[in-house]
Amino acid sequence: MRPSHLNSYFASLMSLKGVGPKIAQAFAKLLRGDVLLEARRIDLLLHMPVGVIDRSLQSDLATAPEGAIVTVKVTIDKHLPPPRNNRRVPYRILAHDETDDLTLTYFHAKGGYLEKQLPVGEMRYISGRLERFNGGPQITHPDHVVSEADFATMPLLEPVYPLTAGLSGKVLHKAVQASLDDLESLPEWQDQALMDREKWMPFDEALRRVHLPHDLADLEETSPVRKRLAYDECLANQLALALVRSKVKKSAGIARCWEGKLKAKLLAALPFTLTGSQTEAIADIEADLALPERMLRLVQGDVGSGKTMVALMAAADVIESGSQAAMMAPTDLLARQHYQSVKSLCEAVGIRVAVLTGKDTAATRRDTLSALEKGDIDFLLGTHALFQQTVVFADLGLAIVDEQHRFGVHQRLTLSAKGEATDLLVMTATPIPRTLVLTHYGDMDVSLLTEKPAGRKPIDTRTMNLERLPELVQRLAQAIDQGVKCYWVCPLVEESELLDATAAEDRYATLKQVFGNKVELVHGRMTSDEKRSAMEHFKDGDAQILVATTVIEVGVDVPEATIMVIEHAERFGLAQLHQLRGRVGRGDKASSCILLFKGPLGQVARERLNMMRETEDGFRIAEADLRLRGEGDVLGTKQSGLPGFRLTDPEAHKGLMEMARTEGRLIIETNPDLEGIRGAALRDLLYLFSRDEAIRLLKAG
Ligand code: ADP
Ligand code: MG
């Protein structure tokens, strides 16, 4: 149960004067993204201003700059209502100060209301945009009109908020002010030394200061006020992750025992030696496996850095210790490809390996499942199909999730829940910037694969106008004669698989006229069997050109392929281009990538293509991608800013997330059940930032 001293924060906005069901709905939409949810005061208070109207310029009429927002003090002289039969003439009110006359103009005004607000002979403070009309100062529809007595209540710095349909700035503003009115002070959850060092104010005061700024600096994202609130958000997030992590780890981990014989056999069978990065990542994993805690590890490595080998070695260790391992890929094609690429190695050393996808025949599936349950399969590869209820492992020791960002957090938890003490290894090729790693995988340890396998040659990347297609085809023909293999990726048309497929089919047809049956085709609308046979024909048969949609984006591995053509490269995002290019340059032969574009190129598209020519460094590319597209897109979430975060800005609040991660872990180490005064305050924090699922974990023990 939420402690009652938080009630003023969680009261419905409906409890405020002037907020009825309709406006409450608009608030719900704006603040919680769903009209059906209840918008509460805390939601509104955490809605940060994006700008400010500065009314602090108080001036006399004669010197007031034209077009500026000013606040003037005037005496009301006369009302000039429009003639009764002509509503188009505005209602005007004349006023003056010592220096000049002022006209206030209202269209479609209610005379009675204005007479009450602006009585003749009285003094008023007026704030609004001042214009000069026929030479004289004029303000049309002033923003504020207040008496001398009420002047103190007029905000001289007025925050401006993001709005939604059905909600005006005025209404929002009033609701914010009313929410601040009876806000309770809360026991501090932040560390006092940190508060002192950063000169931070208490939470409720910080909220007041953001919504009732004292000076312009208060509204900057880098101000102590905003930093404090952002840090609250980071800490709530990292504390919740640390809690989850500690509970998962404590719950039944197994200290696995193995000698390393299987791994040694695999290493001996490999035609290459592992890179230093691979060896280090495997050592990290082995250290985790040997501990009596659950492993939660993320292996992050650019395309082609050899993640599959790392996964295989980890699987070998766990299998030698007597348990099973499973590896989940995001698509059927990838699952089968993983299977193909590890099958002969596994069989050579006696690992019993199988594949399970949604597209297996009923009979195959039944056989696989029964073998799995009996423990006759050591290593199972597959897709989402792996975490269906009917899939029962004899003893799943290690769950490996490849290309993680395609799966949700709950999916990776579901897979690891298939075994009592399943260790979890997640692999991603997306070079996710540090801040995002922390927000999404803050509960995981990270191993980085920074090296590429030895002997890789740089990929010669060029851009070429689509108009020169015939020339390209001619040159490709020469390369094909010399036995080269080539991917040809077709344009992404909208978000439609059907249109993608058509584009690919068209290109396939034209290339077929030149290259005959040396061309193969794969796209998302083909059946699994069709895809597989096309891939096999390309990988091991005599097909040399594979026309494809972005189904080949992730993970496809044909080391002999050395040319990548990307048609309409200007339509792809930078991360996607990088992923695609990573399909070549995997062997020791020189490779090239041709980015076919259709001009004229926009600014962003040109920068993207230039970046591709300039570097193969996934981290540099990811950073440029962030800059060009906004952070959300890197994870495919299409929002800007940190997904799920409202107060934290990756630029302005650099470093806060790391600080919060360290602190979150420290708190959980020293006070795992969040007890005592600080513990209770930290629970408040989790409630305020809607991280209370974590509190439920505390109770479950
Ligand atoms: P990714 O990290 O993109 O998943 P893969 O695991 O698919 O990369 O590996 C890419 C290619 O590099 C594969 O053909 C794999 O066999 C090969 N490879 C992996 N490790 C090494 C290594 N240490 N030396 C040479 N080639 C390697
Ligand atoms: Mg891979």
> Residue 697 falls within a domain, yes or no?
no
Taking CA atoms only, the protein residue closest to ligand 1 atom 22 is: 453
Q: What is the 3-state secondary structure (H, E, C) of 588-634?
A: CCCEEEEEEECCCCCHHHHHHHHHHHHCCCHHHHHHHHHHHHCHHHH
Least confident of 106-120, 180-194, 548-562, 601-615: 548-562
Least confident of 264-278, 368-382, 580-594, 646-660: 646-660
Interval 227-259: pLDDT, tens: 999 999 999 988 988 887 777 666 667 899 999
Shared domain for 67 and 41, answered yes or no, is: no
More confident residue, 539 or 431: 539
Which residues does residue 547 pair with via DSSP β-bridges, in sequence order? 488, 521
Please tell me the distance between residue 675's alpha carbon and the centre of ligand 1 in angstroms: 48
Of 449, 469, 487, the one marking the end of a domain is 449
Least confident of 180-184, 243-247, 261-265, 343-347: 243-247
User: Which of 266, 267, 272 has most ligand 1 atoms within 8 Å of CB, for mutation?
Assistant: 272
> Does 634 score more than 60 pLDDT?
no
Taking CA atoms only, the protein residue closest to ligand 1 atom 5 is: 306
DSSP state at residue 58? B
> Does 501 score more than 80 pLDDT?
no
Shared domain for 483 and 608, answered yes or no, is: yes
> Residue 684 falls within a domain, yes or no?
no
The band of 640, judged by pLDDT with boundaries at 50, 70 and 90, is very low
User: Which of 280, 308, 448, 591 has most ligand 1 atoms within 8 Å of CB, for mutation?
Assistant: 308
> Residue 405 falls within a domain, yes or no?
yes
Kindly report the CATH number assigned to the domain that includes residue 265. 3.40.50.300
> Does 408 score more than 70 pLDDT?
no
Which residues does residue 101 pair with via DSSP β-bridges, in sequence order? 96
Please choose, from the candidates 270, 315, 261, 339, the residue with its C-alpha nearest in 3D space to the C-alpha of residue 536: 339
Please tell me the distance between residue 620's alpha carbon and the centre of ligand 2 in angstroms: 20
* pLDDT score recorded for residue 433: 60
Please choose, from the candidates 172, 447, 180, 81, the residue with its C-alpha nearest in 3D space to the C-alpha of residue 300: 447
* pLDDT score recorded for residue 638: 34
Q: Which whole number is the average pLDDT over 654-677?
A: 91
> Does 354 score more than 70 pLDDT?
yes
DSSP state at residue 452? P
Distance of alpha carbon 410 from alpha carbon 194, whole angstroms: 34
Q: Which whole number is the average pLDDT over 270-281?
A: 94
Please tell me the distance between residue 481's alpha carbon and the centre of ligand 2 in angstroms: 30
Counting atoms of ligand 1 from 1, which one is nearest the CA of 305?
A: 2
Amino acid at the residue 96? H
Distance of alpha carbon 522 from alpha carbon 537, whole angstroms: 11
Please tell me the distance between residue 674's alpha carbon and the centre of ligand 2 in angstroms: 40
Distance of alpha carbon 565 from alpha carbon 402, whole angstroms: 26
Helix (H, G, I), strand (E, B) or coil at 542: coil
Q: Which whole number is the average pLDDT over 592-606?
A: 89
Least confident of 47-51, 252-256, 582-586, 661-665: 252-256
* pLDDT score recorded for residue 657: 86
Interval 104-159: pLDDT, tens: 999 888 878 888 889 999 999 999 999 987 778 999 999 889 898 888 777 788 88
> Does 596 score more than 50 pLDDT?
yes
Shared domain for 351 and 491, answered yes or no, is: no
Interval 531-561: pLDDT, tens: 888 888 998 889 999 999 876 655 567 888 9
> Does 411 score more than 60 pLDDT?
no
The band of 697, judged by pLDDT with boundaries at 50, 70 and 90, is low
The residue range of the domain holding 76 is 56-154
Is residue 272 in contact with ligand 1, taking CB distance under 6 Å?
A: yes
More confident residue, 422 or 470: 470
Please tell me the distance between residue 54's alpha carbon and the centre of ligand 2 in angstroms: 54
Q: How far is CA 413 from CA 296, 320, 404, in A?
A: 10, 24, 12
Which residues does residue 94 pair with via DSSP β-bridges, in sequence order? 78, 103
> Does 418 score more than 80 pLDDT?
no
Kindly report the CATH number assigned to the domain that includes residue 70. 2.40.50.140
Shared domain for 510 and 572, answered yes or no, is: yes
Shared domain for 69 and 195, answered yes or no, is: no
> Residue 256 falls within a domain, yes or no?
no
Is residue 583 in contact with ligand 1, taking CB distance under 6 Å?
A: no
In the chain, what percentage of residues exceed pLDDT 70? 88
CB 13 within 8 A of CB 44: yes
Shared domain for 328 and 398, answered yes or no, is: yes
Distance of alpha carbon 591 from alpha carbon 578, whole angstroms: 14
> Residue 228 falls within a domain, yes or no?
no
Place of tokens 């934290």: 648
> Does 413 score more than 60 pLDDT?
no
Shared domain for 82 and 198, answered yes or no, is: no
Taking CA atoms only, the protein residue closest to ligand 1 atom 20 is: 306
CB 560 within 8 A of CB 532: no
| Ligand that comes closest to the CA of residue 330 | 2
> Residue 507 falls within a domain, yes or no?
yes
* pLDDT score recorded for residue 100: 92
| Ligand that comes closest to the CA of residue 555 | 2
Q: How far is CA 125 from CA 152, 183, 400, 470, in A?
A: 11, 29, 68, 73
Shared domain for 210 and 77, answered yes or no, is: no
The pTM assigned to this predicted structure is 0.62
The percent helix, strand, coil of the chain (3-state, each to 5) is: 45, 20, 35
Taking CA atoms only, the protein residue closest to ligand 1 atom 16 is: 306
Q: Which whole number is the average pLDDT over 420-433?
A: 78
Please tell me the distance between residue 216's alpha carbon and the centre of ligand 2 in angstroms: 49
Shared domain for 276 and 424, answered yes or no, is: yes
CA-atom Rg of the chain in angstroms: 32
Shared domain for 91 and 37, answered yes or no, is: no
DSSP sequence for 629-685 = H-GGGGGT---SSSTT-SS--TTTTTTHHHHHHHHHHHHHHH-TT--HHHHHHHHHH
Distance of alpha carbon 62 from alpha carbon 97, whole angstroms: 9
The band of 446, judged by pLDDT with boundaries at 50, 70 and 90, is confident
Please choose, from the candidates 341, 555, 591, the residue with its C-alpha nearest in 3D space to the C-alpha of residue 430: 555
Is residue 309 in contact with ligand 1, taking CB distance under 6 Å?
A: yes
Query: Which span out of 107-121, 209-223, 462-476, 598-612 was modeled with the highest average pLDDT?
Result: 462-476
Of 399, 431, 449, the one marking the end of a domain is 449
Helix (H, G, I), strand (E, B) or coil at 99: coil
Is residue 306 in contact with ligand 1, taking CB distance under 6 Å?
A: yes
The band of 53, judged by pLDDT with boundaries at 50, 70 and 90, is confident
Domain count along the chain:
4
Of 130, 154, 178, the one marking the end of a domain is 154
CB 16 within 8 A of CB 178: yes
> Residue 104 falls within a domain, yes or no?
yes
Please choose, from the candidates 644, 699, 687, the residue with its C-alpha nearest in 3D space to the C-alpha of residue 239: 687
Shared domain for 299 and 406, answered yes or no, is: yes
Shared domain for 133 and 47, answered yes or no, is: no
The overall average pLDDT reported for the chain is 86
Is residue 274 in contact with ligand 1, taking CB distance under 6 Å?
A: yes
> Residue 664 falls within a domain, yes or no?
no
